[in-house]
Structure 1
C-alpha cells in the first residue's frame, strides 16, 4: 500500500485518509471472483457488474495503493473476456443477464491497463494484459462505420446496433489513444488504431448528427471534453452552453436535465472535464460542492433528489466512489496516473492545435 503522504488530497475538501476510506469502500464490495459490482446486495437486490465501471473502480483502487484488489479486478477481466474481444454488458452475481457486447465497455480496458502501467511501471502486467487489450480494440473497431463513429453494441446474434452514442464514442476515443500508447510501449505500433482514433475524435467534435439524441443526459454534454475530442476554446464554450442546464448551485451536476436529481459520479466526471478544459477553480469548487453526498464510512451516495430531499437511488455505488478518487487525484496531481484525462504518453489528449474540424468531407461518406 502506498503511504498516506502519497495519496491525493484536495486542501479543504478531502485529505489522504478520506481518499483511502473511499477506495476501501470499493474493495469492501468486490466479489470473490474479482468482479466489482455497482453495489453489494442490499435489501435482497444485488448490483450488477459491467466492464466499464469495473475498470474505473480498479483504477481508483490503484490510486489508493490497494494493489491486491486492483490486480484481482484486472485478472477477472482477462479471464472473462470472450473470444471476440468483448464482455457481456451485464452480470449479476456471476451470471450473465445481458449478453450483448458494448463497444465502450470493451475499449475501456485499454485505459485501465495504461493507467496501471503509469502507476506501477509493471511491464510484466502490461505484457500479460496486452492480448486482452488487442482483442478488445479489434472488437471495437469492427463496429466503426465509414464515417468514423462506433456503434454502441454487437448483439448476442452477432448483429451490430443501429446507432452510436456520443458519450460512449467519446470514451472510446480516450481508450484508443491509450491502446496506441500501449502498442508503442511494447514495440508493436498500431498506426491503423491511431487513424481510427483521429477519425472518431473528429466525428465526436464536429458531427453531432452521427449520434443518437441523448442530450437530456449530462454525460453527452461533458464527455467530449473529459475524454479529449473537444478541448481549448471549444471546450469552454461547451461548458458555458450547458452549465445552467445541468449544474444546480450548491448541490452538483444533474444526471438528466429534466429531473431534480444530482449525482456524485457525474459531478466528479464534470470536475475532471473542467480541470482538463483549464477551468481549475470551477472544478475545485464543484468538487467541494458535491461532498454533501459523502457517507461517514467514506463511500458516497449515488445521488440526491433535491425536491423530495432524499438519496436516490438509495445505494452507495462503487463507480461513484471511483469517480471521487479519480477526481481527487486529477485535482491533486499526486499520482503518476493523475493526468490520464489530460495527456497520453506525454502528448495532450485531444485534437492537434492545427486541426480544422470543418475541413472535411466525412459528412458525405455513406455509412454502412
Structure 2
C-alpha cells in the first residue's frame, strides 16, 4: 500500500507549521490507525463516528492517499442504515458494533463533504455514481429533521423519535454538506430543487435567527462554524469572528473549546484557521496553526494531542486522535492551495441554495 512520502505532500507544507517530512509522518500515522476494512477510529481501541471518520479520510485524500480514502467511503456505504443514516458511534472491532444508536444529523450529512472532496481530488466519475445513492439517502434523512424555521433537528433516537432542538454548530456543518450534496447531484445529473430550497431556509436561519438554536454560546464551535460552514460571509463573518476573538483565542496556545475553561484544543484551532482562510485572512490562520505546534507529538509519529489544559500544564485528554491530525492537515492543505480542499471549504463553486424570505 502506498504511503505518502515528502514528494507527495508538497501542499501540506507550511513554514513554522509542517515540513514535508512531518506531514508525511502524520499521514502515515493516520493510515496506520485505519483498519483493513477502511474504518478510521479516533485511535485504535476507541470508537469511530461518521463525522470524524470522514474528516480523517479527507486528510488522506489531501495527501494523495486516494485508495485509502476510497476505502473509508466504502466503509460508510456498507454500514449505512436503511433510512440513510449511520449510528453516532461504532466500536473498533471487526463487527463494528454500534456503541451509540442515536443518529445525529450533522454526522449523517458530513460524508457528502468527503465524497465530493474525493471526486474533486480524483476526478473519478465512477466513484461519484457509486456513492450518489448513499449521499442521496443520507441527505434525505437529514432533511427529514429540518424544522419549519429552517434549522436542522439534532438527531433521531434509536426508537425513531426526533430530537427537534437545533444546534448552531451542527446546522452550520449541515449547510456546507448540503452544498456539497447538491454539487454531487449536479455532477451525476440528478438535480434536487427541494434540497436547494432547504439550503436556502437553513442559511437564512443560521444568519438571522440565533433564537432558533439551543444556546451553546460558550462553545467556540458555535462562534466560528457559521463562517466555516459558508452560511455567514463578508462583513458579517468578519464581525462575528472579531466579536469572539478575545473570548476564545489564547495567544501562543490556540483556541479554547469553551470560553470558561483553560483548555485549548487542536481540532477547534484548526477549524478556526480554516474559517479565517475562508474569510481571506491567511496570515491569522497561519498564526493560529503555529500556536498549536505544542500539541504535536513527534515521538508518537507526528500525531496531535486532542487538547492542553494550560493552567495545569497538562495534556488532556491523553489521546492522539486521527480527526485532530486530519483537521490540521486540511487547514494546511487549504492554505497550500490544494484544489479539492479549497473548493469544499472556500465554496465559490458550490451551489448557494434558493433564496429564502422565510420569517
What is the TM-score normalised by the length of structure 1?
0.91
Alpha-carbon spacing, 1:124–1:74, altered in 2? closer, same or farther (3 Å): same
Shift of residue 6 of structure 1?
4.1
The answer for the alignment partner of 2:86 in structure 1 is 87
2: CA distance between counterparts of 1:69 and 1:223?
28
The answer for the alignment partner of 2:100 in structure 1 is 98
Deviations 1:153-206 (A, max 9, x none): 011111100301100000000100011111111111111111111110110111
Aligned-residue CA RMSD in angstroms?
1.7
Shift of residue 339 of structure 1?
3.2
The answer for the alignment partner of 2:164 in structure 1 is 162
The answer for the alignment partner of 2:39 in structure 1 is 35
The answer for the alignment partner of 2:218 in structure 1 is 216
Q: Judge which range, 28-37 or 124-133, deviates more.
A: 28-37
1: CA distance between counterparts of 2:246 and 2:60?
33
Alpha-carbon spacing, 1:351–1:16, altered in 2? closer, same or farther (3 Å): farther
The answer for the alignment partner of 2:72 in structure 1 is 73
The answer for the alignment partner of 2:175 in structure 1 is 173
Shift of residue 360 of structure 1?
4.1
Shift of residue 31 of structure 1?
2.5
1: CA distance between counterparts of 2:26 and 2:343?
20
Deviations 1:8-51 (A, max 9, x none): 2112321222222212211111223321111123xxxxx11110
2: CA distance between counterparts of 1:4 and 1:140?
36
The answer for the alignment partner of 2:337 in structure 1 is 333
1:266 aligns with 2:268: yes
2: CA distance between counterparts of 1:351 and 1:220?
22
Deviations 1:84-126 (A, max 9, x none): 0000011122211111111111111110110001100001111
2: CA distance between counterparts of 1:4 and 1:361?
47
Deviations 1:284-316 (A, max 9, x none): 111111111111121111111101101000001
The answer for the alignment partner of 2:203 in structure 1 is 201
Question: How many residue pairs were aligned?
Answer: 350
Deviations 1:242-276 (A, max 9, x none): 00100001100001111110001100000000111
2: CA distance between counterparts of 1:189 and 1:334?
27
Q: Work out whether residues 9 and 23 of structure 2, in 8 Å CA contact, stay in contact via their aligned partners in 1.
A: no
The answer for the alignment partner of 1:15 in structure 2 is 19
Q: Structure 2: which 5+ residue stretches go unaligned?
A: none
Alpha-carbon spacing, 1:268–1:351, altered in 2? closer, same or farther (3 Å): farther
The answer for the alignment partner of 2:305 in structure 1 is 301
Alpha-carbon spacing, 1:100–1:233, altered in 2? closer, same or farther (3 Å): same
Q: Work out whether residues 231 and 351 of structure 1, in 8 Å CA contact, stay in contact via their aligned partners in 2.
A: no
2: CA distance between counterparts of 1:218 and 1:133?
29
> How is 1:303-318 mapped onto 2 (pairs within 5 angstroms)?
303-318=307-322
Shift of residue 277 of structure 1?
1.3
2: CA distance between counterparts of 1:27 and 1:249?
32
Alpha-carbon spacing, 1:152–1:25, altered in 2? closer, same or farther (3 Å): same
1:136 aligns with 2:138: yes
Give 3-state SS (helix, strand or coil) of 2:86's partner.
coil
Larger relative helix fraction: 2
Give 3-state SS (helix, strand or coil) of 1:336's partner.
helix
Shift of residue 279 of structure 1?
1.5
Q: Work out whether residues 179 and 353 of structure 2, in 8 Å CA contact, stay in contact via their aligned partners in 1.
A: no
Give 3-state SS (helix, strand or coil) of 1:240's partner.
helix
Q: Structure 1: which 5+ residue stretches go unaligned?
A: 42-46, 363-368
Give 3-state SS (helix, strand or coil) of 2:146's partner.
coil
Q: Which of 132, 145, 150 matches 1:148?
A: 150
The answer for the alignment partner of 1:233 in structure 2 is 235
Q: Work out whether residues 51 and 106 of structure 1, in 8 Å CA contact, stay in contact via their aligned partners in 2.
A: yes
Give 3-state SS (helix, strand or coil) of 1:11's partner.
coil
Q: Judge which range, 239-248 or 3-12, deviates more.
A: 3-12
Give 3-state SS (helix, strand or coil) of 1:175's partner.
helix
Q: Which of 280, 283, 286 matches 2:285?
A: 283
Q: Judge which range, 15-24 or 229-238, deviates more.
A: 15-24
2: CA distance between counterparts of 1:131 and 1:163?
28
